Structure 1
Amino acid sequence: MGYVTAGQGFSRDSRYLTTRITADGRDGYPVEPGRYRLVVSRACPWASRAVVVRRLLGLEEALPMAVAGPVHDERSWTFDLDPGGRDPVLGIKRLREAYFARDPGYDRGITVPAIVDVPTGRVVTNDFPQITLDLSLEWTAYHRPGAPALYPPELRAEIDGVNEAVYRDVNNGVYRAGFAGSQEAYAEAYRSLFDRLERLSERLERSRYLVGDTITEADVRLFTTLVRFDAVYHGHFKCNRRKLTEMPVLWAYARDLFQTPGFGDTVDFVHIKRHYHLVHTDINPTGIVPAGPDLRGWLAPHGRAGLGGRPFGDGTAPGPVPPGEAVPYAHGPLG
């Protein structure tokens, strides 16, 4: 299964299914509690955004979740974590079955996150940037009491600007470095990545969060890359100018979020490392999964509270992780 094209830079296939699930159902899919299933992998940073936002907003009952295993092949993600290797609700072994149920000739990426309409077994959307925004804006009737405003109207323009730069240079930038097929493409991605990380460090020196004084969509999107940085991107993707632990501001910022309910309690480092090192066989042909890094530092004091800010604004932290959704070794294992 190849990800690198010799002599070329990496270009992400962004032909997503852009059907939306909305409060008014204008695309034919109204918000209905229990009707849909959010399919994710805890290994995937794009899916992890949806996992974090769903938990912060308290949508666990309204939007049940299926967790695919961390390793897939060219035929798509599988439900090998479930008894019999089938998702117990959708009854399928591979996520591609839900894509083909929507379009038998589907020829695009079979990606997570994906939201599946349970009655028909069809994927509604895999448009990961829009999914989390719609969880904030369209599912408000089912948010928990005290749910934070992750995409407040007065900050949306600034959040969008930050998100655009972070996606280009950081979220997708690590892939552009890791999947580069030429030295030139790698060098450009590497430079853009670390230039952006330096600018983010400067921004976060004086502000606890990226936009405003509370957690927003922007923080969720940056976190899911930072939490994977030392475990996979630094070595596996050759993003090795510095480790996250060697960037003091970003390291403290990432620890602050990790220790905030809804963030670190969704992270499975075992799945993350297995996915990248076992799936990307053209980068890691031996299939050896590294034993490190030492993860205990994620629970060290971060000192960011002195910058002010209130993580959830006028809201409250989410409660305990629901039964059945706890991550084994949620913080590591950190020992």
Structure 2
Amino acid sequence: MKKITALMLMVVLAGCQVRDQQQGQKEQQPAPVEQAPMGLMQAETGIASTTSSAAQNGVSVAANLTSRYNDVRRDCGKPSMPAFLCRGVMLRSTIASTAYSSWNPSPHSQKSGGVSFSYLSKDAKFTGLVFGQKNGFIFYPVLAKPAGTRQIEVLCSYPLDGATQLRLAPGCGAHPYSTDRSRRCQTIGVTTAEQWLANRSTNAWNLCSFDVRDSMNNLGADSFYQTIRAHQLGNFFAGAHDYIELILATWPQNIPNELPIEAFFYLDGGLAGAQHDQQDFYNKTGGRVMPIIKIILPTTASTNAQFIYSAADQVK
């Protein structure tokens, strides 16, 4: 009995000692930082707060988009690695519909083998999307795409809208209004931004496409860099079609889980369309939540795009 009493006393004393140590540690720790309420996140200013994992992901996506937008590297580390592999924002504008899912290639794209995207970055600004559209989706750059998603190859690039609907497949070939000088740039001897602008100056339809396929190897990064330079030197910014156009290889229908979609986006007036797409994606992927990001495009050459996550925009 005495041994038991002694043992109990030792346990009590040990417990008191641990409690005292814990109390001392608490007194030495700084007061916890109070979290702001869940709501608006504007990546450019770093304002962020949330308690849900979905909202945390949205905050992270907005911050990543802002970081990639501000990144102006010439390439991704090698002459064979064009800048779009690691930086900038590749987005496709769409129209929400119950007749199809926005991420599925259109009938035209299924036939041509190419899907049109716009490229947005600090050194490749524009003020509006094709046909005045207000929402769509964003692809991860290849070097940041999640495991298990497809690598969608970028085939060619144009310093502004390439009028690709009428071009030879996959959208990188000649245009019927200029069958000779609108072909692949490298084929007609155009390898620099200055040459591209000189070629176009003789005929507005002389829009040759810079070849940026993987097969370009060590010429690939400079080919896309010349696209950006021509966009800048041509002062393509505030016109109705002044955005860099990319043609990506067409992917199969109805594979949302395999696509490297990073977010749905909207401009002012396009929230309902983005919400429709978010719900559609959720339904057709077995419950995956893809964040909606508001994009505010620059209005002057000296202002920058903003990427904003707001909990109030989400329907999932």
Structure-1-length-normalised TM-score: 0.24
Structure-2-length-normalised TM-score: 0.25
Q: Is the strand fraction higher in 1 or 2? A: 2
Question: Rg bigger for which structure?
Answer: 2
